[in-house]
Homo-oligomer: A and B are copies of this chain.
Amino acid sequence: MSASETDRIPEGVIERLPTYLSVLIQLRQEGSYTVSSATLGEMTEVNPAQIRRDLTHFGSFGKRGVGYEITMLTDKIQHILGSDHTHRLVLVGAGHLGSAIASYSGLRARGFLVSAIFDNDPQKVGGRIGDIIVRDTCELGRVVAEQSIAVGVIAVPPKAAQEVANIMCESGIRVILNYSANLVKVCEGVTLHNTDPVRELLHTLYYLSRAEGVARV
């Protein structure tokens, strides 16, 4: 029955949790106290039965006849994802994209703190993004190891991406988010997410040429 810690949770479930979280935070800001799976389903475009099913992997958080208490469910999901405490991250690449990520307020709001920024362009090293000074990429490994940082974000040109990923893996990074156009490989034990904006545009483009084949992606 539910909540068994040893459950292997399907990937799809984990993907949907942050989406539920976004909507819950939005609802809380609007002053709601409880929400039903029906409403949550309408807002996230996920089948209500699926939402209930997803949540039972971790416990039973609702009240029959009432729904889910928003604050409580928010806390639970944040705890499941591990975003109930702050995670420091390193960012490599101080170009436009890197600057955008570093100065994105949504990061801090959801538990991430940019600890250091790196670039190998001498013109950028020593400059600042917000109140963080850009360091030379040759310091990346040392900083990650010394500060035991677990999360790394790659925002460098495609050709440099794999090299950065290698350094990250060697120095003990556990989660990598790669924004470059090249796919990278990581060693065993490191969680990787390749997320190229243009790749996502191409994906949606498919539906453009098909008059009827429109989809929510």
Contacts and interface: CB of A to CB of B under 8 A. Distances in A.
Copies in the complex: 2
A19 B177 contact: no
B199 A22 contact: yes
A16 to B, nearest CB: 9
A31 B95 CA distance: 29
Given A11-B215, A99-B100, A174-B208, A193 B183 contact: no
Given A96-B100, A110-B198, 6 more contacts: A83-B202, A87-B208, A100-B100, A104-B197, A110-B201, A191-B215
Interface of A: 11, 14-15, 17-19, 21-23, 26, 43-44, 80-83, 87, 95-97, 99-101, 103-104, 106-107, 110, 112, 150-151, 153, 158, 174-175, 177, 179, 181-183, 188-193, 195-209, 214-217
